[in-house]
Structure formats: C-alpha cells, structure tokens
Structure 1
Amino acid sequence: MTSLSRLVFLLLMTILTACSSIYYSGLEKIGIPKRDVMVHRVEKARDTQEETKQQFKSALEQFTAVTHFQGGDLEATYQKLNGEYEASVQKAEEVKKRIADIEDVSNALFSEWETELTQYGNAALRQNSQQKLTATRAQYEQLIAAMRRAEARIEPVLSVFRDQVLYLKHNLNAQAIVSLKGQLSTVQSDVSALVSAMEKSINEADAFINTMEKP
C-alpha cells in the first residue's frame, strides 16, 4: 500500500468511525443504548445465518437435481441452478455485512465501557463492572469466532458452484452433467460442513443474546 493509499484509507476509516459515533449518539438520545443495538444486530446476524443455511441447502438440492438430468430443457435447468447460485452469493454478502455491523457496534460499546470504568469513585462497583466487561467481551469474542468460522465455510461452496455454473452455461450437454456428477460428493461435504458451522454459530448467537438480555 502506497503512502497516498494508506492516507486515503485512514481518512475513510476516520470518517466512518465519526459517522458511527454520531449514529450511536443519536440512538442513545432517543433511549436506545449501544447494548440494545448490539443485541439487535446479533439477532439479525443469527436470522441471516439461518436463511443462508437454508439457501445453501436449496442450492445443493438443485445441484443434485441437475446431476440426475435425464432429458428435457437443459437451458431451463441451468437457469434454475444459476438462480440458486446467485441467491447464495447474495446471502454470503449479507452474512459478511451482518458480522461487520456487529463488530462496529461492539467496538463502540467496549470502548465506552472501558472509558466509564475510570469514572467510578467506588472501587467495588468498578471491579464489578470490570468483571462484567471481561465476561461479556470473552463471550462476544467466542461468538464472532464462530461466525467467522461459518463465514469461511461459504467460499469453498460458492467456488465449486461458480465453476460448475459457468461450465454448464457454455456446455449444455451430457458431458457437462458428467462433470457436475464428479463434483457432487465434494459439494455435499462442503455444504454439510457449512450447515454444521452455521448451526454452531446460531447457537452461540442465542447464548450471547440470552446473556445480554439478563437483567
């Protein structure tokens, strides 16, 4: 990265951080604290992961159906598979954005929390708050790690889908179907690993939400 590129990047990050601060301050003025925003974003990310899990299952079903093609309109079959691929790409982008949104508000929340620790006059209350911060951050890091692991499972599946959809697009014949059959076991294995990772991430999200919602 050149000096100019680095300067532009830092400037953009400063602007985005300032915008986020203004946004969260505005929400707090109408009674919505960062903690509630964080919980809401984790809920949205959890729901998006559930939708993504179902979408990739649907894509796998269509991929499998193509390998069983026995005749008919292969162009229409391709269009269905391509539609499932494009829907999967869209869900992958949503997952990425949801995680980034959580990270953004969490940074603001933990930064504020640490600053407020210095404002306590009562040592016992400060220690109690510090313990809660440490516990919350640890569970948050566990959640984000699970979400990132699930997200990392997406690209291998998309990569195979992308290759096969492109190949089928330009080779609407029996040879293309044979090619898809050769990749079926790989796709099934990758989708299975993705679904498993998504389910673990969803469970982590539920646990985090329950902890944050406790009085």
Structure 2
Amino acid sequence: MAYRKRATTRSLLVALMAALLAAVWGCQSTYYAAMEKVGVPKRDILVDRVESARDSQKQAQEQFASALDRFDQVLGFEGGELEEKYNALQAELDASEAKAEAVRERVDLVEDVAEALLDEWEDELSEYTDRTLRARSKARLAETRKRYAQLMTAMRAAEKRMDPVLATFNDQVLYLKHNLNARAVASLKGELSEVETDVRALLRAMDKSIREADVFLAAMERQEARE
C-alpha cells in the first residue's frame, strides 16, 4: 500500500514537472496533455485564463487612467525640474507598456486553449453512438463557440485600443526628452485633450471586454452545473 502511494506521488510529480516544462518551453499541446493527466481538463484551464485575462485588463485600466492623470498633473504643473517631469512620464509609459504586454499575452493564452478545447470537442462528436447525446453536445458546442467569439472580439478590440494610446504617450515622452524646456511642456499641454479622448475610448472598450469575460465565465459555470 505504501509503495502504491509513493508510486502515485511520483507519477503526479512527473506529470506536474512535465506541465511546468511545457509551460516554460511554450509547447501548449504538451502542457494540456500533462495537465489532463493530473485531472485538470482544458475547460478548467480556459476558465482560469479568462479570469486572468479579465483581471489583467482591470489592472491595465487602472494603469492607463493613472498615466493620464500623471500626464495631466506633470504637464499642468508650473515650475519644477524639467528632467523630473520627463522621468515621471517615462515611468508611467514603462508601466503602461508592461500592463499592455501582460494583457496581450493573457488574451493569446485564452485564444490558444479555447481553440484547442473547441477543436477537440468538435472531433469527439463523431465518437458518440447515442444520437440524442451527440445532438445535445453539438448544441452546447455551438453555444460555447458563439460566446467565445463574442468574448474574443471584445478582448481583441480592447487590445487594439491600447496601441494608439501607447504611441501617443511615447511621442510625448520622446518629445519632452529631446526638448527639455518650458516651451516643449507648453506645446504638449495642447495635445492632452486628444490623449484623454483616446484613453476614455480605451477604458470603455476594456469595460466591455471585462463584462464579456464575466458573462462567459457565468455561462461556463451554468453549463457545468447542467452536466
């Protein structure tokens, strides 16, 4: 009995190590296979990744709003060292770029596991011998595909909204870096209204994406409860 327990423990450790290495190497198909061996199906991975992407977008929302406020404060403040102004804006740009990259990576991970799950589901429909069960599963697959398409459309739309905002932030920081004088600061103030418009549009797109993620997660939970 003790031997069996040790063998089971070793098997679990091997599978977990394989999952870790697969994640490091970026081989997602190997990662999914390893996780399924320890009882973690693609469906659970998808739910976890959607939650992670949603939370990442919330963090990015906060960072972009913070960056806009900082740009407004720094450019609107009369006096102070110009290099300090530049450093403050560069720090906000760096933080915004990091949050944006995190969002992109997490959305890519959602897409990867969702496509793997849906393709596998589609392939396994042919394995049913009971027509009623096959039809029921096919209907749920279609429903899940539709919800996933809505989620991914919203996530990608929010993701694309980040690029023009980051580009504008970067332009302003570069301009201030190359022109550390009061006139440069004054010229950038006039562009704040356009930046604010872009940021507000980004925040609205992220709101929509976050809502779609919540809807998707709730639907997955309901579907699991029915099974």
The normalised TM-score by structure 2 is 0.85
Note the 1:1-215 alignment, pairs <5 A. 19-214=27-222, 215=225
**Residue in structure 2 matched with residue 4 of structure 1 by the alignment:** none
Structure with max Cα Rg = 2
Tell me how far apart the structure 2 counterparts of residues 49 and 87 of structure 1 sit (CA, whole Å): 14
Report the secondary structure of 1:23's partner residue: helix
Tell me how far apart the structure 2 counterparts of residues 26 and 158 of structure 1 sit (CA, whole Å): 38
SS in structure 2 of the partner of residue 118 of structure 1: helix
Q: Residues 152-187 of structure 1, C-alpha deviation per residue, up to 9 Å, x if partnerless?
A: 110111111000100101211111112211110001
Q: List 4+ stretches of structure 1 deviating above 4 A.
A: none
Q: Which secondary structure does the structure 1 equivalent of 2:190 belong to?
A: helix
| Structure 1: unaligned runs, 5 residues or longer | 1-17
Q: Structure 1 CA distance, aligned partners of 2:27 and 2:204?
A: 36
The unaligned stretches of length 5 or more in structure 2 are 1-25
Output the TM-score relative to the length of structure 1: 0.90
Q: CA deviation at 1:55?
A: 0.2
Residue 92 of structure 1 deviates from its aligned partner by 1.0
- Note the alpha carbon deviations across 1:79-133, whole angstroms, 9 max, x for none: 1110000111111111111111011101110111011100000000000000000
Kindly state the Cα deviation for residue 19 of structure 1 after the two structures are TM-superposed: 2.5
Distance 1:172 1:19 in 2: 47
Q: CA deviation at 1:26?
A: 0.7
RMSD (Å), alpha carbons:
1.3
The one-letter code of the counterpart of 2:106 is R
Query: Number of paired residues?
Result: 199
The amino acid across from 2:40 in the alignment is I
The percentage of counterpart residues that share the same residue type is 54
Return the alpha-carbon distance in structure 2 between the equivalents of residues 132 and 57 of structure 1: 39
Asked which structure has the greater RCO (Cα within 8 Å, sep 6+), the reply is 1
- On the 8 A contact 1:85/1:158 being kept in 2, the answer is yes
